[in-house]
Amino acid sequence: MKKKIYIIGNLSKHITPEIQDSFLLTKLELLRIGFDVINPIENLNEKSTINYRIKIRNIKQLAECDAVYLMPCAILDRSKNLELSIALDLNLLVINGTLNLR
């Protein structure tokens, strides 16, 4: 059975095409090496904005994972500390995104 991994990255209030591309490329690489990937950007509404319901859905998905992938941009985003804190509290494997996946 594949390990489920959640991508932690910089999700600001409004998601740009560049951010979407970064998350998509990360997802594709994680799929390539054998993970079942949870990409939180896929929970966005049609306006590409983050709201309370989306944040709750993301945290629920995170709690069901075996690991998290910490993108380099997540270090710059203070709100991601909550996701990382939850992952650590749940004893999930944390993969440092500064490492090259290839």
The answer to whether position 1 is within a domain reads yes
- CA torsion 89→71→16→18, rounded to 10°? -170
The answer to whether position 23 is within a domain reads yes
Are 12 and 19 in contact by the 8 Å Cβ rule? The answer is yes
Write down the pTM of the prediction: 0.85
The confidence score (pLDDT) of residue 74 equals 72
Summarize the confidence of residues 75-92 as an average pLDDT: 78
Question: Is residue 45's pLDDT more than 80?
Answer: no
The answer to whether position 74 is within a domain reads no
CA quadruple 47, 30, 36, 61: dihedral sign = negative
The answer to whether position 12 is within a domain reads no
The answer to whether position 11 is within a domain reads no
The answer to whether position 99 is within a domain reads yes
The answer to whether position 45 is within a domain reads yes
The answer to whether position 36 is within a domain reads yes
Q: What CA–CA distance (Å, rounded) separates 1 from 81?
A: 29
The confidence score (pLDDT) of residue 100 equals 55
Which domain, by its residues, includes 24?
1-6+17-65+79-102
Task: Say how many domains are in the chain.
Answer: 1
